Amino acid sequence: MTNEEWWRGAVIYQIYPRSFLDTNGDGVGDLAGIAQKLDYVASLGVDGFWVSPFFTSPMKDFGYDVADYCDVDPLFGTLADFDAMVARAHELGLKVIIDQVYSHTSDRHAWFEESRQSRDGPKSDWYVWADPKSDGTPPNNWQSIMGIPAWTWDARRQQYYLHNYLAEQPDLNLHNPDVQDALLDVARFWLDRGVDGFRLDAIHCGMHDPELRDNPPAVGEARGETRPYFMQTQQYNMCHDDLPKVLERLREVLDTYDGILTVAEVGSPDPLPLMKDYTQGSRRLNTAYGFDFLSARELTKDLVESTLGGWPGDSGEGWPSWAFSNHDAPRVASRWCQGLEHGHRVRLIALLQVALRGNMFLYQGEELGLTQATIPFDKLQDPEGINNWPHGLGRDGARTPMPWQSAAVHAGFGDHEPWLPVADEHYPLAVDVQEQDPESLLNVFRRLIDLREQHPALRYGELEFLEAPGTVLAFTRSYKGQSLTCVFNFGAAATAWCPGNIIVHASAGLVDDNVKDGVPGWSGYIGEVRDG
């Protein structure tokens, strides 16, 4: 690898297809809608976009329960629509990243339907099956993240099957080489259709302990009380040591194509060792992201220093990626800006995003400053939110339709009532409103992404923290003789600290060009230190 592969330091825009644009009037976004709005995506200056699942699915978990890896669900269109979307993206110079869900399938997948029929059939060992204990209870104490036991009884086989998510999402047995071969064929199918990379969903869940040992109880700060899953240490139901061998097999396939990006989602309680293991050297994945920022309730200096400090850039180390919002986490404009002047602080967050070392994932609507929508119980769609009501926020509030036009019905998402309601507070944040305002958050993001593209130090450079007082975070980004200084004040009080004679390149409108007297509260800038 070189230091300047297209994906290194890239900005990737995440599209949640159900909520992007509905072109056929059924209330659900589709691939044709994505293709129609790719000029907008390109106008952001991003390198590419990641599309959440659009595969054939009964939609128990909105596409993450895959029933056919190699086809498009009719809800989203056809393979021809997918090919047209890819072609249009490439015309605009955009890379296309798609999800690959290798840890589990839908219980409607043909593989599972065959596996459950017999204990000695060709696919009998393609999923994780186990006999009950002598008293008929599940084989161990593992719990699903969805707030239910991780084992479901199947009357056909007279055995339990494992699922780290919904009961309708049985876990694949990645210890089986035949399963690995089948998934590699899936990867080839989409690579041959022109995709430029994969996001590997929940890949840490891909392998279990074959001995089926009980998980130990969680203790101290690691223990959560909202559901049984968080009362355990996830030691044996996932994160098996043999998983990197599967990733190496995948990498061998990917290296027969040109410039393919692989990014792992790692949601374990201790993600950093796994992220570094999965991206170590040149034979595994390119990059990985965890939930360091996605699960953080507030943005602090300590959070950024501890998270970025885990990726010092040592020899053989992989490359990190960062997301502040996505379809699984409450939107950052609500999570980190509650009780503060909304427009002011989201600009600081945008400035920080472009300054971090690593790839930047930008979730649809984040560039508009969309807040987390409040969805009444009778409108909830997310099974996690329904199962854990009212103790869990659920994910629907981050998945509401994209607002394109402030005065249009359903904010221009489509003519039919959408699958989730458009939040009232999102209409004035619509794209058409912000397009007209040069100082809108949308246009701030465009300028900041362009700044990142124009300065290799921000895209590829090393990061070195500076000593700064109190709530002030400061670091340099350096590459091939260029050095930029990035300063952020995460406190309400102004600070007089300044790292030198700064020429400001960007501040997202938070400070003026004269910063020698310090920086106000909740403000920051990116600039260069000049002598004299």
pLDDT of 160-205, one tens digit each? Answer: 999 999 999 999 999 999 999 999 999 999 999 999 999 999 999 9
| Nearest-5° Cα angle at 485, 484 to 487 | 145
Q: With beta carbons less than 8 A apart as the criterion, state whether 272 and 322 touch.
A: no
Helices within 356-455 (DSSP H only): 383-387, 431-435, 441-454
- Rounded to whole angstroms, the Cα distance separating 309 from 329 reads 23
- Find, among 249, 221, 250, 245, the residue nearest to 233 by Cα: 221
Q: Is the dihedral of CA 136, 240, 218, 332 positive or negative?
A: negative
Distance between CA 303 and CA 472 in Å, rounded?
12
Q: Is 135 exposed, middle or buried (0-12, 13-18, 19+ CB in 10 A)?
A: exposed
Q: Give the distance, in angstroms, between the CA of residue 409 and the centroid of all CA atoms in the same chain.
A: 29
Each residue's pLDDT tens digit, 430-446: 999 999 999 999 999 99
Whether the pLDDT of residue 343 is over 90: the answer is no
Q: Are 227 and 148 in contact (CB under 8 A)?
A: no
Task: Among 136-140, 207-211, 282-286, 528-532, name the one with the lowest average pLDDT.
Answer: 528-532
Catalytic residue, chosen from 265, 328, 367, 396, is 265
DSSP letters spanning 23-72:
SSSSSS--HHHHHHTHHHHHHTT-SEEEEPP-EE---TTTTSS-SEEEEE
d(CA 278, CA 300): 28
Provide the pairing of β-strand 197-200 with 95-100.
parallel
Question: 160-164, 343-347, 494-498 — which is least confidently predicted?
Answer: 343-347
Q: Model confidence over 71-98: pLDDT tens digits?
A: 999 999 999 999 999 999 999 999 999 9
241 is catalytic: no
The torsion region of residue 75 among left (phi > 0), alpha (psi -120 to 50) and beta comes to alpha
User: With contact defined as beta carbons under 8 Å apart, do 290 and 266 qualify?
Assistant: yes
Report helix, strand or coil for 402.
coil
Q: Which two tokens stand for residue 176?
A: 């089986």
pLDDT at 386: 77
Domains (ranges, CATH) in the chain?
A: 11-103+176-203+242-363 (3.20.20.80), 462-529 (2.60.40.1180)
369-398 residue pLDDT tens: 999 998 988 898 888 777 777 766 679 999
Average pLDDT over residues 266-294: 93
Higher pLDDT, residue 384 or 273: 273
State pLDDT tens for residues 2-54.
568 999 999 999 999 999 999 999 999 999 999 999 999 999 999 999 999 99
Cα–Cα nearest to 7, from 446, 456, 319: 319
Report the Cα 279 to chain-centroid distance in Å. Answer: 17
Residue 2 confidence (pLDDT): 55
Question: What's the pLDDT score for residue 340?
Answer: 56
**Would you state the pLDDT for residue 339?**
57
Strand partners, 472: 489
Residue 517 predicted with pLDDT over 90: no
pLDDT-above-70 percentage for the chain? 98
Q: What is the pLDDT of residue 1?
A: 45
Number of helices and strands in the chain (H, E): 14, 18
Tell me whether residue 387 is exposed, middle or buried, using C-beta atoms within 10 angstroms of its C-beta: 0 to 12, 13 to 18, 19 or more.
middle
In the chain, the amino acid numbered 211 is E
Tokens 């990726």: give the residue.
Answer: 311
pTM for the model stands at 0.96
Which residue's structure tokens are 């029929």?
A: 117
Q: Tell me what pLDDT residue 512 has.
A: 82
Q: What percent of the chain has pLDDT over 90?
A: 88
Contact 446, 43 (CB under 8 A): yes
Beta 48-51 vs 11-15: how paired, if at all? Answer: parallel
Q: Is 234 helix (H, G, I), strand (E, B) or coil?
A: coil
265 given a catalytic annotation? yes
pLDDT of residue 532: 56
Instruction: Compute the average pLDDT of residues 492-499.
Output: 92
239-265 pLDDT, tens digit per residue, is 999 999 999 999 999 999 999 999 999
What DSSP element (H or E) covers 399? none
User: What single-letter DSSP state applies at residue 423?
Assistant: P
Of 203, 288, 280, give the one whose Cα is nearest residue 246: 203
Catalytic residue among 73, 99, 171, 201: 201
d(CA 475, CA 469): 13
